[in-house]
Amino acid sequence: MSRILIIEDEEAIADLEKDYLELSGFEVQIENRGDQGLQTAMNREFDLIILDLMLPGMDGFEVCRRIREAKNVPILMVSAKKDDIDKIRGLGLGADDYMTKPFSPSELVARVKAHMARYQRLVGAGQKTNDIIEIRGLKIDKTARRVYIDGVEKNFTTKEFDLLTFLAENPNHVFSKEELFRKIWNMESVGDIATVTVHIKKIREKVEFDTSKPQYIETIWGVGYRFKI
């Protein structure tokens, strides 16, 4: 369950926010002081923090700044004064959103959900591992579009990369030059199948130890090429 911390000294507002958020399926904790709110934010993991500006103990500006130094959690700042919102923006404290009181609870819930979804997408993207093909000393990082031979990166043009990756993804399958040209260069492209030959030559110069005895891309005379595994 997603957890939200509300740092708010006006109990009626804090309770109202809590009720609506709990109805939407969130687990909510309330802190009524800035300093205590900061401590809780640092010591426990939350998926989002709703932070009031005027607070006893430590104001919302300082709380926001300190949380942001340590954590990426989304922070939604709230204030009764429009001027304060402008000030928060100007200070660049790293708050993700701002709301002026009074706001409707449904608007709060909608914003909370939007920020949480965005944050989880970011976190999810960060944890996703790269899509990698490894065959003997050749490593193709499809996500980063990089190629390594025995750990050393080789520079590939877009089409060289696409051609090598396509062949490596379909090992032991013989493709004619026409098929490869259609597949990598598309039908609209101007050019001819000699382009394929040129690119294969360039790829071999980068990946093969001895281009006269290729260990990755093999020429099948009169037919085309195949990636050997």
Using the rule CB under 5 A, is 193 a contact of Ca ion?
no
Give min distance, CB of 10 to Ca ion, in A: 5
Stretch that binds Ca ion, among 18-26, 48-56, 138-146, 197-205 (CB under 5 A): 48-56
Using the rule CB under 5 A, is 109 a contact of Ca ion?
no
Using the rule CB under 5 A, is 62 a contact of Ca ion?
no
Contact 224, 175 (CB under 8 A): yes
Q: How many CA within 13 A on the CB side of residue 71? A: 22
**Structure-token pair, residue 144:** 């980063």
Q: Which one of 16, 40, 54, 97 is in contact with Ca ion (CB under 5 A)?
A: 54
C-alpha distances out from residue 109 to 1, 56, 92, 115, 206, Å: 15, 25, 24, 10, 55
Q: How far apart are CA 98 and CA 87, in angstroms?
A: 11
**Structure-token pair, residue 19:** 């009720």
Give min distance, CB of 102 to Ca ion, in A: 13
Site string for Ca ion, 7-46 (x = CB under 5 A): --x-------------------------------------
Q: What residue ranges bind Ca ion (CB under 5 A)?
A: 9, 52, 54
